[in-house]
Chains A and B, each alone.
Chain A
C-alpha cells in the first residue's frame, strides 16, 4: 500500500482552520466581514465567555437562497470572485471561500438566512465534521450565524486559547477596528449580556471614533487629508496630548480592508517624533485609498498583512499626511510669507550691486587684480616701503571685492530672515484677529493668556524649549564634516551595506564620508564636526536602522536628543519672572513653531479652556 494518500475533506478543513481560525476573534472577524460584504447596515455581535462558548453575528444584509446557503459551507465556494484574474482587483473583504467551512468544521455551527423577497428562510446546522442539516425555517431578513463550543473537536488548539477575558478583549479590539473601518454601519457588541460598544452608523468617522473611544478622544481629533495622483489618505489623529500606551489604538484601513503594517506605524511614529514622550503612541484612524492593482492582499489567509507595490512611497505618503495634520493651521501664514519674501530678496540684491558698481568697474578691477599678485609677492619678499604701500593698496582692493561677494548673500539673508519673522506676525493679527493676549503669570511658571473665546495656560519652560528646539533644528543642516586621519573600520550586514551604498548622497549631506573597506566593512573617512568621535559610530548605526525602516533621517533628527537637551538648558526656567511684553513674545514665537503642542520631550506646552469648558465647570449647562 502506498504511504502517501490524499487527505479527506474533514482533515483538510481542520488543517485550514489553523490558518484562518486561530481564536474566537478571528471567527468574529471573518463573519463580520462577510456581513459587511453582504451590504449590511446593522451588525450585532454577541458573545459569551469571551467567545469560547458562544458567538452570534446577526446582520441585515442581503441573505442567501437555500441553494446558496448549502454551497456557502463548502470549501472554496464564494460569490466574491469567479476566476484568478479577479484576485488582482479584489474589492470585497473576503474572497477565498474558506471561512465558513473551516469555522463550521471546528465548532457547533448554525446559520439562518433569508433574502428580502423570500417567504421562508434557510437554516443550516453543522456539528464538526458532520454532514450539514438543511431545512426551511422562519427568520428575519439577513443572516444570523451562531458558533458554539469553538474547537470542541480540536483539543490541541483549545488548549492554546487564553483566558476568556483575554479572548473577549481580542474580539472587542477586532470589532472596534471593524467598526471604525465602516462608520456607515451601526455596530452593536454584546458581551456576557452587557452592551459594551455601539456605533451610530451615521457614516461620519468622527462619530464612530467618539462612540468607540469616548468623547475625550473625540474632542482631541486632528483631521488628516492628503491626496496625490494615486494615493488618498483621510482620517483622524489625536493631538499629542492624547496618547495611548500601545499601538492597538492605531487603525489602518487600506481600500476598506483592515491591515497591520509596520512601516505605516513607523511612519506615524516618525511624524510624531519629538512630540511624544518615549512610551506612548498616538491614536489614529487612517483610511488609505490606492488603486486596487497596486496592492496584493492575498499574502496571508487572515488578510491582515498587505503588500504594496511601492512600500517606500506609501511610507512617505503616510508620513507627510500625518505631518501636515499635526502642524498647526498657522502653517498657512508662512505660505503667505513665502510669497512676500521673493520680491523682497531681489530688491536687496539689486541694492548691493548698485552700491559697489560705481566704486570698482568690473573690467578695471580685473586688470588691477592680475597685476596685484606680483606686487604682493614682491612686497613680502623685499619689504620696502613703496612695496608695502602697494601691498596695502592692493589689499584694500581685494577686501572690497570680497566684501561685495559676501554682502551679496550674508546680510541679504539676514534681512530676509527678519522679514519672514515679521511678516507673518502682522498678517496674523490683521487677518485673523487671533492674537492670544497674555494676562499674567502664575507661580512664576505658567503664562495665562486669553483670546475672545478661550483661556490658555502655557508652561513657560516647555513653550520656550519648543521654540528653541525648532530654531536649533533649523541650524542642524549644513554642519561641516570633519575628516579623519585614522579611519575606523565598521562592519555591517549585507543588507545594511546595500543601504549604505544606495544612500551615499544622503550620508554625505549628513556629514559622513565612507568607502568600502572590505567585504561588509566600511572605512569611515569623515564625521559631522559636532558629533564626538566616540558617538559617530552609534549615530551612523542609528541612521542605518532608520534607513532599514525606509525612513531617511534628517540632520535635525539624528541630533534630536542633543538638540532637545541644549534647548532645555537654554530655555527660561520655572521661577523666572516675565513681564507682559516677554510673555507676548513667547506666545507669538510659539505660534510659529512647527509643532507647538508639546515640548521636545513630549510634555504639553499649552492647555486651552474654551468658553464651553468653563461653562461646564461652573455648571452652567
Chain B
C-alpha cells in the first residue's frame, strides 16, 4: 500500500481517532490505528471496545491496502514531521511501514491487521437525523451534570429520550439534574430511552465543530449507538439500566422566583467560592432579600467572603446554601443574559431556567448547614 496525503489532514484525523485508542489495551492490537487506503480516501479506525471512531480523509492513493500502525508512535511521528505532505508506504512482504515527509524518514513496525476488530455500521437499528447545532446544544446543556463516579454506571451517562416530535436529554449525579428538550422532526417510531456514556458525548461535542451546518444521523440498536456526519463515524456502547424517572424530581411549583443577571452572579459566586473551596465541599450561602442576593462563604481556617448582587425577587425571601460548584457548573451553560432561580424553602430543591428557553431546566439540591 502506498499513499500521499496532506500532513494537516492526517494530524487532524489522528487526533480524533486517537481518542478511541485504548490507553490500557486488553490486547495489544487495540493500541493500534487501522488504516485503509482506497480510491482517493484514507480511512482511519480506532476502538477500545467502549467507543469506536472512523474518520475519512482525502489521499492520493497509489496502491490500495490495509494496515495497522502502532497508535501512539504513529500519531507522535506524524505530528512532528517537517514537510507538508506525508508519504506512507508498506511492503506487503515486509513487516515495516515507511513514513517520509520532507527530509525525515521513519520506519515503524506494523501490527497484524487481521486481528483488528473493524468497526461495522449498525444494522437493523432505529435511526433519526438531527441538526448538528441542536444536538450539540443538547449535549452541552446536560452532559456536564453527569457523575464521574464509576460505581454507579447509569449516572455517568446522559439519558436520551425520543418521542414523536421531541428529543430530550437528561443527566444527573443524584445531587443535581439537567434536562433539555428540542423539537425533533421526522422521527417515526416508539418512544425510546437510552443512556449514552458521557465520554462519547464529549468526543461528539468535540467533533461537531464545523462551521457549515450539517445533519447528524443517529442509529440506535439495543446496546449500541452511532453518530455519523461529515467524514466522521462515532460509535459507542450504551449503558444498560433504568434511568430514574426525572419527572418526579422536578418540583411542580415554586414560591419564589428570582431573576438574576447571569454573568454578574456567576462571577460573584466564583469569587466567594475562593474561600469556600478551601474545604472539600464548596458551600456558598445565598440570602435573597430586599431586592438583592447576599452571597457568602465562611471557612473557619481561612476567612470569610461576601458579595451582593441586585436581583428581582417575586415571592417570599429565602435563605439557602448550595455547593458552589453545582451553581457555577450550570451558569457556564446558561446562554441568556438573565436567568430565573426558582426556590421554595431552604431545604427544598431549587430550579435554574433560562429566561427565553422554556425547555431547559436544572434542578439542584441545597445543603443543610449546621448552626
- A: residues with CB less than 8 A from B are 369, 372-373, 376-377, 379-381, 391, 394-395, 398-399, 402, 406, 410, 413, 475, 477-486, 488, 509, 511, 513, 526, 529-530, 532-534
Query: Is A398 touching B292 in the complex (CB atoms < 8 A)?
Result: yes
User: Is B301 in contact with chain A by the CB < 8 A criterion?
Assistant: yes
Closest Cβ of chain A: how far from B224's Cβ, in Å?
Answer: 26
Query: Is B281 touching A482 in the complex (CB atoms < 8 A)?
Result: yes
Dominant secondary structure of chain A at its interface with chain B: helix
Q: A483-B347, A483-B365, A533-B174 are known contacts; what are 7 more A-B pairs with Cβ within 8 Å?
A: A369-B290, A477-B370, A479-B281, A480-B283, A480-B370, A483-B368, A484-B365
Partner among B147, B281, B321, B370 whose Cβ is within 8 Å of the Cβ of A533: B147
Q: B370 to chain A: which residues have CB within 8 Å?
A: 477-480, 509
Name B155's closest neighbour in chain A (CB-CB): A486
Q: How many residues of B contact A (CB 8 A)?
A: 45
State A513–B298 Cα separation when bound (angstroms).
24
Query: Is B304 touching A380 in the complex (CB atoms < 8 A)?
Result: no
User: Is B96 in contact with chain A by the CB < 8 A criterion?
Assistant: no
Given A482-B175, A486-B172, A534-B149, A529-B281 contact (CB < 8 Å): yes
Name A481's closest neighbour in chain B (CB-CB): B368
Closest Cβ of chain A: how far from B259's Cβ, in Å?
Answer: 9
User: Is B70 in contact with chain A by the CB < 8 A criterion?
Assistant: no
Query: Is B172 touching A485 in the complex (CB atoms < 8 A)?
Result: yes
Q: B149 to chain A: which residues have CB within 8 Å?
A: 532-534
User: Is B176 in contact with chain A by the CB < 8 A criterion?
Assistant: yes
Q: A402 to chain B: which residues have CB within 8 Å?
A: 294, 306
User: Is B300 in contact with chain A by the CB < 8 A criterion?
Assistant: yes
Closest Cβ of chain B: how far from A540's Cβ, in Å?
Answer: 15
Q: A513 to chain B: which residues have CB within 8 Å?
A: 368
State A485–B310 Cα separation when bound (angstroms).
29
Q: B298 to chain A: which residues have CB within 8 Å?
A: 410
Query: Is B308 touching A485 in the complex (CB atoms < 8 A)?
Result: no
> Within B294-350, which residues are at the interface with A (CB < 8 Å)?
294, 296, 298, 300-301, 304, 306, 308, 310-313, 321, 323, 347, 349
Partner among B152, B279, B291 whose Cβ is within 8 Å of the Cβ of A379: B291
Q: B176 to chain A: which residues have CB within 8 Å?
A: 485
Q: B323 to chain A: which residues have CB within 8 Å?
A: 482, 529
Which residue among A391, A394, A481, A513 has the maximum number of chain B CB atoms within 10 Å of its CB?
A481
User: Is B371 in contact with chain A by the CB < 8 A criterion?
Assistant: yes
Query: Is B304 touching A406 in the complex (CB atoms < 8 A)?
Result: yes
Given A380-B291, A399-B308, A402-B306, A485-B174 contact (CB < 8 Å): yes
Closest Cβ of chain A: how far from B292's Cβ, in Å?
Answer: 6
Name A391's closest neighbour in chain B (CB-CB): B310
Query: Is B244 touching A486 in the complex (CB atoms < 8 A)?
Result: yes
State A395–B311 Cα separation when bound (angstroms).
12
Closest Cβ of chain B: how far from A553's Cβ, in Å?
Answer: 17
Q: B300 to chain A: which residues have CB within 8 Å?
A: 413, 475
Which residue among A369, A379, A479 has the maximum number of chain B CB atoms within 10 Å of its CB?
A479
State A376–B308 Cα separation when bound (angstroms).
12
Given A475-B301, A485-B177, A534-B151, A529-B283 contact (CB < 8 Å): yes
Name A399's closest neighbour in chain B (CB-CB): B308
Query: Is A483 touching B366 in the complex (CB atoms < 8 A)?
Result: yes
Partner among B249, B296, B313, B368 whose Cβ is within 8 Å of the Cβ of A485: B249
Query: Is A480 touching B175 in the complex (CB atoms < 8 A)?
Result: no
> Can you list 25 residue pairs at the A/B interface with Cβ under 8 Å?
A369-B290, A372-B290, A373-B289, A379-B291, A380-B291, A402-B294, A406-B296, A406-B306, A410-B298, A478-B370, A478-B371, A479-B370, A480-B369, A481-B367, A482-B175, A482-B365, A482-B367, A483-B366, A485-B175, A485-B177, A485-B349, A485-B365, A486-B155, A486-B249, A534-B151
Q: B321 to chain A: which residues have CB within 8 Å?
A: 480
Q: A369 to chain B: which residues have CB within 8 Å?
A: 290
State A513–B311 Cα separation when bound (angstroms).
32
Contact code string B354-371 (vs A, CB < 8 Å = 1, else 0): 000000000101111111
Closest Cβ of chain A: how far from B204's Cβ, in Å?
Answer: 25
State A380–B312 Cα separation when bound (angstroms).
7
Given A483-B367, A486-B244, A533-B152, A376-B292 contact (CB < 8 Å): yes
Query: Is A480 touching B281 in the complex (CB atoms < 8 A)?
Result: yes
Closest Cβ of chain A: how far from B82's Cβ, in Å?
Answer: 46
State A394–B310 Cα separation when bound (angstroms).
11
Ranked 9 nearest A-B pairs via Cβ: A376-B291, A529-B281, A483-B365, A534-B151, A480-B367, A478-B370, A486-B174, A373-B290, A480-B369
Partner among B244, B310, B347, B365 whose Cβ is within 8 Å of the Cβ of A376: B310
Closest Cβ of chain A: how far from B298's Cβ, in Å?
Answer: 7
> Within B172-193, which residues are at the interface with A (CB < 8 Å)?
172-177
Q: A529 to chain B: which residues have CB within 8 Å?
A: 280-281, 283, 323, 367
State A477–B371 Cα separation when bound (angstroms).
11
Query: Is A373 touching B291 in the complex (CB atoms < 8 A)?
Result: yes
Q: A410 to chain B: which residues have CB within 8 Å?
A: 298, 304
Q: B172 to chain A: which residues have CB within 8 Å?
A: 485-486
Q: A478 to chain B: which residues have CB within 8 Å?
A: 369-371
Name A373's closest neighbour in chain B (CB-CB): B290
Closest Cβ of chain A: how far from B48's Cβ, in Å?
Answer: 24
Which residue among B291, B300, B310 has the maximum number of chain A CB atoms within 10 Å of its CB?
B291
Name A528's closest neighbour in chain B (CB-CB): B281
Query: Is B291 touching A483 in the complex (CB atoms < 8 A)?
Result: no
Name B283's closest neighbour in chain A (CB-CB): A480
Q: A530 to chain B: which residues have CB within 8 Å?
A: 279-281
Q: B292 to chain A: which residues have CB within 8 Å?
A: 376, 395, 398
Name B301's closest neighbour in chain A (CB-CB): A475
Closest Cβ of chain B: how far from A209's Cβ, in Å?
Answer: 44
Q: A381 to chain B: which residues have CB within 8 Å?
A: 312
Closest Cβ of chain B: how far from A345's Cβ, in Å?
Answer: 16
Closest Cβ of chain A: how far from B168's Cβ, in Å?
Answer: 17
Query: Is A377 touching B365 in the complex (CB atoms < 8 A)?
Result: no
Name A478's closest neighbour in chain B (CB-CB): B370
Which residue among B281, B298, B371 has the maximum number of chain A CB atoms within 10 Å of its CB?
B281
Q: B371 to chain A: which residues have CB within 8 Å?
A: 478
Q: A394 to chain B: which residues have CB within 8 Å?
A: 290
Query: Is A484 touching B175 in the complex (CB atoms < 8 A)?
Result: yes
Given A483-B347, A486-B172, A509-B370, A380-B310 contact (CB < 8 Å): yes
Q: A533 to chain B: which residues have CB within 8 Å?
A: 147, 149, 152, 173-175
Name B149's closest neighbour in chain A (CB-CB): A534
Name A535's closest neighbour in chain B (CB-CB): B151
State A486–B249 Cα separation when bound (angstroms).
7
Query: Is B368 touching A526 in the complex (CB atoms < 8 A)?
Result: yes
State A377–B310 Cα separation when bound (angstroms).
9
> Within B115-162, which residues are at the interface with A (CB < 8 Å)?
147, 149, 151-152, 155
Contact code string B197-226 (vs A, CB < 8 Å = 1, else 0): 000000000000000000000000000000
Q: A413 to chain B: which residues have CB within 8 Å?
A: 300
State A530–B282 Cα separation when bound (angstroms).
10
Which residue among B279, B283, B321, B367 has the maximum number of chain A CB atoms within 10 Å of its CB?
B367
State A488–B149 Cα separation when bound (angstroms).
15
Closest Cβ of chain B: how far from A395's Cβ, in Å?
Answer: 6
Name B292's closest neighbour in chain A (CB-CB): A376
Q: B368 to chain A: which residues have CB within 8 Å?
A: 480-481, 483, 511, 513, 526
Closest Cβ of chain A: how far from B252's Cβ, in Å?
Answer: 15
Given A395-B292, A483-B347, A484-B175, A534-B366 contact (CB < 8 Å): no
Q: B312 to chain A: which residues have CB within 8 Å?
A: 377, 380-381
Contact code string B85-96 (vs A, CB < 8 Å = 1, else 0): 000000000000
Q: A379 to chain B: which residues have CB within 8 Å?
A: 291, 310
Q: A483 to chain B: which residues have CB within 8 Å?
A: 175, 347, 349, 365-368
Closest Cβ of chain B: how far from A447's Cβ, in Å?
Answer: 26
Q: A526 to chain B: which residues have CB within 8 Å?
A: 365, 368
Q: B347 to chain A: which residues have CB within 8 Å?
A: 483
Contact code string B247-262 (vs A, CB < 8 Å = 1, else 0): 0010000000000000
Name A562's closest neighbour in chain B (CB-CB): B280
Which residue among A369, A480, A530, A532 has the maximum number of chain B CB atoms within 10 Å of its CB?
A480
